[in-house]
Amino acid sequence: MIPAPAAGPARTPRRIGPFEVPAIGLGCMNVSHAYGTAPSTEDAERLLRTAVAEGVTLFDTAALYGFGANEELVGRVLADHRDAVVLASKCGMTGVNGQRVIDGRPDTIRRTADEALTRLKTDVIDLYYLHRFDRQVPIEDSVGAMTDLVAAGKVRTLGLSEVSADTLRKAHAVHPIAALQNEYSLWSRNPEQGTLAAAAELGVALVAFSPLARGFLTAAPPDPATLPEKDIRRNMPRFAADNYAANLELHARIADIAREAGCTPAQLALAWVLSRGEHVVAIPGTRSIAHLRENMAVLELDVPAAALEAAGQVLNAETVRGSRYNDATLAEIDTERCGAAG
C-alpha cells in the first residue's frame, strides 16, 4: 500500500539527533565518484560554496567517495563554515588497492575515522554512518566501535546506511542511532517495507539518498547509451535498454503532473519524498549549480497533495521496470526488498 502524502511545504526545519537542518541537504558523492569523469576541482569547489550560500547545512560525504578525495574536498571547502554546517561521513566501505571493500571490523572503523578527521580538517564529525553492514561482523560490534568514537569525542552522533528495520533496532539498542540513510524515491520504495515506520518510532531521521532516481526524475533524464564507461548506472537494471524505454513512459506522465502542479519533475519528486514524514530529509546530489538551486527551491513550494498522490500512483515499486541494483550488489545490501524491483 502506498502511504498517503502529507499536505503542505517542506520549509519547516527537520531534526537529525540534536541538529536542526533544512529538509534538503547535499549528497556530495557526485562530484568525486561513480558518475564518470569528475568535474574540475574549481567547479566542485564552486558547487559546494554555492550550496552554503543557498542555505544547505547538511553535507554528506564518505571515505569511499573518490577513495578519500571527496572528504578532502568537503573538508577544504567547508573549513571556514565548520560551525554553520552539519558534517556527515561514513565508514565501513572504503577503497583498498583501487577496489571497493566492505569492512565493518572495529579496528577498521577506528582507523577510518582517524583518517576521515584528517581529510575533513576537523576534530569531530557531526554524523558518522556505517556505510554498509558487513555481514561477517555482528552489527553490535561495528556500532560498539562507533560508540567508542563518540566517547572519545571524535564523533557526535551515529547513523546507518542501507540496512533493514531489524538491523536498525539491533544497532539502536547498542547506541542511539540519529539517522538511517536509505535510497528512497518514487521508484525506490524499500523504506516503505519497514524502515520508514521504524525510524519514526525510534526517533531516527530517514535520510533519503538518490531521491531523484539517479537523475531519472529530472527534466532531462540521462540517455543510457551515452553514459561514460565508469558511470554506475551502466550496471543498473533500470537503465538497461528495454527497462528504460518502459520507464521513460512513466517519466512522461510524471512530467505532465509536474507541469500541471507548476513545478519541475525534480521538484515534484523531492516534494514527494519529503511528504513521507516529518522525519524524512533528502540529500540529492548534483554537479550543476542550476540544479542545486532548483532543488533548494522546493523548500518554498506548495506542491498540491493531489499532485504528490498522483505521482506516487504513476511511479512506484509495482510500475517501475528493473531492480535498483544488479544481483551482486543487492546481495551486499541489508534493506528490505520491494518484490521484483529489489
Q: Please state, as a whole number, how many other Cβ atoms lie within 10 Å of the Cβ of residue 181.
A: 26
Q: Can 65 be counted among the known catalytic residues?
A: yes
Closest CA to 133 of 111, 159, 96: 159
Q: Which three cell numbers stand for residue 216?
A: 531519472
Residue 136 burial class via C-beta count within 10 angstroms: exposed 0-12, middle 13-18, buried 19 and up: exposed
Which superfamily does 14-218+266-302 belong to? NADP-dependent oxidoreductase domain (3.20.20.100)
Structure confidence by residue, pLDDT tens digits, 133-177 = 999 999 999 999 999 999 999 999 999 999 999 999 999 999 999
Closest CA to 300 of 24, 27, 4, 46: 24
Structure confidence by residue, pLDDT tens digits, 202-255 = 999 999 999 999 999 999 999 999 999 889 999 999 999 999 999 999 999 999
Catalytic residue among 35, 65, 128, 129: 65
- Residue spans of the domains in the chain: they are 14-218+266-302
**Can you name the residues that pair with 95 across neighbouring β-strands?**
100
Structure confidence by residue, pLDDT tens digits, 295-316 = 999 999 999 999 999 999 999 9
Q: What is the mean pLDDT of residues 71-90?
A: 97
